Amino acid sequence: MKKKILIINTGGTLSSVAKEHGLTPDITTDSMMKELHIVAGEAELTTMDFMSLDSANIFPEDWAKLAEIISDNRDKYDGMVVIHGTDTMAYTSSMLSFMLQNIPIPVVITGSQLSISDPVADAMENLRCAIFMAQTGKSGVFLAFNRKVILGCRASKVRSISFDAFDSINAPNVAEISSLGMKVNEDQLPKKSGIFHLQNNYSRDIAVVKMFPGMHRSLLNSLAKEGCKAIYIEAYGLGGMPYLKHDFIATIQELVDQGITILIGTQCRFEGSNLNVYETGRRALDAGVIQANDMTTEAAVTKLMWVLGQTNDPKEIRDYFNISLCGEVILQK
């Protein structure tokens, strides 16, 4: 029996054409049908043009609407593929992982580094991988790129030009394609923990700060005065921050006492943070920060936005970060 797959187009490089001011998304799914059928195999395809944007122009309200569309159509299809620009694809796949927890079908985000109209593009192979994964019946949100499938909340864009643009951070790939076909790593599939219901509320009242030597702690106070309810700090190494000269940790303590959530991660791409090792980290824990552990920046940011859409209670926010919702984190014991 043919699997029914919905292709949702949001734009991005895959559907771009060259115009006066550079590449611009302008190819509809109707124009792609020949190429889509070539890579779809026996799947029965339905297409939808949701929007046509460079992914730099995608905002949280677009995530909420996209999640709603996916939710509304989940019982009509065996799987879905979302065509998306690469620049913010990992943010979208992470946020959809939270908004669509326990979704019963595969939702696979993909795109390309070259337009589908380019004869040497990676678009066809990425679509083939995504459509094939969408037919597996493996529930969850995934990102397919360069013949590998990554858990949506573990994906990060790590190369700007290469076809191998995305890596799975701190977790093995969910699936890979080789001359033996697609091999799915069952252990890496998200664990269903309840029934599905759309959870697409979010808050934009967050900020992201990347530490650098010489940064002044007044920046944190400024963000709080602007109305930020939570701040994600990409600290050094295992989570180190200054507490001499400019005492960031004292300022963090003041903000936590005001009810502002401070999430601490690392600038290092791999292996995550651990605030229990050094004095600076332990001081931060004593000040009341939350650890990001081994989450990607994309997952940490979108989880913070999503959690704040569910609750404003600092204790409940902490509780959300003490559990893995969709495979986004391995918590330290």
- Domain layout of the chain by residue ranges: 4-188, 206-321
> How high is the pLDDT of residue 320?
97
Please give the sequence-ordered ranges of beta strands (E in DSSP) within the chain, or none if there are none.
4-11, 16-19, 22-25, 44-53, 79-83, 106-110, 140-145, 148-151, 155-157, 166-168, 175-178, 181-184, 206-210, 230-235, 261-266, 290-291
Instruction: Assess if CATH 3.40.50.1170 describes domain 4-188.
Output: yes
Handedness of CA 201, 301, 166, 187 (dihedral sign): negative
Whether the per-residue pLDDT at 142 is higher than 90: the answer is: yes
Q: Which long-range contacts (CB under 8 A, 24 or more apart) does 20-24 make?
A: 23/115, 24/54
Residues with catalytic annotation?
13, 86-87, 157, 278
| Residue 239 buriedness (CB in 10 A; 0-12 / 13-18 / 19+) | buried
If pLDDT is split at 50, 70 and 90, which confidence band does 30 have?
Answer: confident
CATH code linked to domain 206-321: 3.40.50.40
Q: pTM of the prediction?
A: 0.94
If pLDDT is split at 50, 70 and 90, which confidence band does 311 have?
Answer: very high
If pLDDT is split at 50, 70 and 90, which confidence band does 13 have?
Answer: confident
Identity at 116, one-letter amino acid code: I
Which tens digits make up the pLDDT trace of 65-102?
999 999 999 999 999 999 999 999 999 999 999 999 99
Identical fold between 4-188 and 206-321: yes
Whether the per-residue pLDDT at 140 is higher than 90: the answer is: yes
Q: Which residues contact 154 (CB under 8 A, 6 or more apart)?
A: 168, 169, 170, 171, 296, 299, 327, 328
> How high is the pLDDT of residue 120?
84
> How high is the pLDDT of residue 192?
84
- Tell me the Ramachandran region of residue 55: left when phi exceeds 0, alpha when psi lies from -120 to 50, beta otherwise: alpha
